[in-house]
Amino acid sequence: MKAMHEKLIFEHSAPGRSAEAQYPQVPVEAPIPAALRRAGAPLLPEVSELQAVRHFTRLSQLNFSIDTHFYPLGSCTMKYNPKACNQYAMLPELLNRHPLAPESTGQGILQILYELQEMLKEVTGMRGVSLTPMAGAQGEFAGVAMIRAYHKARKDLARVEIIVPDAAHGTNPATATMCGCTVKEIPTLPNGDIDLDSLRAAVGPQTAGIMLTNPSTIGVFERHIDDLRRIVHEAGGLLYYDGANLNAILGKVRPGDMGFDVIHMNLHKTFSTPHGGGGPGSGAVGVSERLLPFMPVPIVGSDGDRYRWLDEKDLPQTIGRLSGFMGNTGVLLRAYIYMRMLGRDGMQRVSEFATLNSNYLAARLRAAGFELAYPERRASHEFIVTLRREAHEWGTNAMDFAKRLLDYGFHAPTTYFPLLVPECLLIEPTETESKEELDAFVDAMIAIRREAETEPDKLKGAPWTLPVRRLDDVRAAKQLDLTWKAA
């Protein structure tokens, strides 16, 4: 029996109760001067260990997850997270190591991180890798900051404009702004490629660089990448590769070989570290020769058989530090274990089977009468279905389909992204799903489409079988209720 509702932890509280095995019992009076002492205890739960365990276990049961449901969320790469990656990253010696402990006590972990840097260099074709960014968005920040530092070091101070395609993920422009750059958007052609004429018109002495995802956010490979690179490089700009879709090309084509100067990788996508309900991520960056001096520190270096941290003294032109220590080491460990288990052949199979699953799902949905947004293009690891006909004929939009899929036991695909395609579902099955699971998803889509025609209210009111029905977002934003208060 699955939980459908769970009280707040505070509503389980009773004064004087706590999990007493978990802290020192000898009463201590903290020797704090009266003026610095806290007045009144904080509102933390007063529950037993079992009450807490039961509460949070029940909460977990209110979630969809990869371990329980097919999760075809486009651009998020929700593949299976092997259990070994977690188990061996949680070995007590690795878990309990203080980040500032002497390097002599951490040669094991340093070697792991060094080898991870080397493997990531190989799969991306870049010359250097820094593991320190703590998420994709921080990797992006590091990338654009390096581009700025490069131009500044050359006294090319006018280069402050970052070009992004209109289909780009929202972090791209947000990152450019955080780095003190301005943003220029260029359009995408109806066939999904970037409009090179607009690009030629956009570049100039103000161009710092361009941020690209390839395959792009609309799920197709940018075929004119060679021309595009030439245009940007000849104008004096650099090329930034957003690694959001690296899963699609792993081992098949390398960003370094495409001529990119800097790339960030989302290890929580391509290298299967957990999404954890929204984090932690890890956004390692790779760079070409000319950006090597600017990489964020620390980076693991090797002097023969000894490993050590390279810092500001080793890279005086570094953009600097992005975290309190050296990034999300625990996440890096999981990526390392995953890569070692895949090996060189397994890594190529990732893109092969991710692409096979995606094209198969696209072909089956198309055969079932769904409209693909880019039917003439080969799907990459993901593709877009547009439900504009369904919206027009029956008044059932993409969100209605998404919510109804939840009732059928499938997590919804990404909806309304990219913004270019009306009523869209961005679908990414990943390589770890079986044909049976994909077929079941197609069956569900067909069944929902039939409902849309005959009983559209089933979609508009969906979901019906989850812990809650659709939530009032307007109320949530207007009558802010962000913390619980005792009645």
Query: Do the Cβ atoms of 272 and 331 come closer than 8 Å?
Result: no
Closest by CA to 73, choosing from 441, 461, 448, 451, is 441
Give Cα 13 to chain centroid, integer Å.
Answer: 36
Residue type, position 244, single letter: A
Q: Answer yes or no whether residue 67 interacts with another protein by CB under 8 A.
A: yes
Size of the site for another protein (CB under 8 A): 203
Separation CA 211–CA 239 (nearest Å): 6
Binding mask of the shown chain, residues 438 to 467, with x at each position contacting another protein by CB under 8 A: -----------------------x-x--xx
> Rule CB under 8 A: is residue 320 a binding residue for another protein?
yes
Closer residue to another protein (CB): 87 or 205: 87
Q: Does residue 474 touch another protein according to CB under 8 A?
A: yes
Interior angle at CA 136, CA 400 and CA 272, nearest 5: 75
Taking CB under 8 A as the criterion, the residue among 121, 290, 308, 458 binding another protein is: 121
Residue 271 touching another protein (CB under 8 A) = no
Stretch that binds another protein, among 100-108, 194-202, 386-394, 449-457 (CB under 8 A): 100-108
Region from 200-208, 385-393, 447-455, 478-486 binding another protein, contact rule CB under 8 A: 478-486
Please list every residue from 41 through 60 that binds another protein, using CB under 8 A: 41-47, 49, 52-53, 55-60
Shorter beta-carbon distance to another protein: residue 42 or 316: 42
Segment 220-249, which members bind another protein (CB under 8 A)? 220-221, 223, 225-226, 249
Output the smallest distance, CB 386 to another protein, in A: 19
323 binds another protein (CB under 8 A): yes
Whichever of 50 and 155 has its CB closer to another protein, that residue is 50
Q: Which of 70, 74, 112, 246 binds another protein (CB under 8 A)?
A: 112
Binding residues among 373-402 for another protein as defined by CB under 8 A: 377-378, 402
Nearer to another protein, 111 or 317 (CB): 111
* DSSP conformation letters of 359-425: HHHHHHHHHTTPEESSTTSPP-S-EEEE-HHHHHHH---HHHHHHHHHHTTBPPPEES-STTSTTEE
Task: Please state, in angstroms and rounded to a whole number, the distance separating the CA atoms of residues 356 and 362.
Answer: 10
- For residue 475, the minimal CB distance to another protein (Å) is 5
| Residues contacting residue 265 through CB under 8 Å, at least 6 positions apart | 120, 124, 139, 243, 246, 271, 283, 284, 285, 286
Calpha distance 444→436 (Å, rounded): 12
Place of tokens 């090797």: 302
Residue 472, interface with another protein (CB under 8 A)? yes
Task: Between 178 and 420, name the residue whose CB sits nearer to another protein.
Answer: 178
Which residues on adjacent β-strands are paired with residue 262? 240, 287
Task: Indicate the residue type of 115.
Answer: E
DSSP 297: S
For another protein, the closer CB: 187 or 251: 251
End-to-end C-alpha distance for the chain, whole angstroms? 31
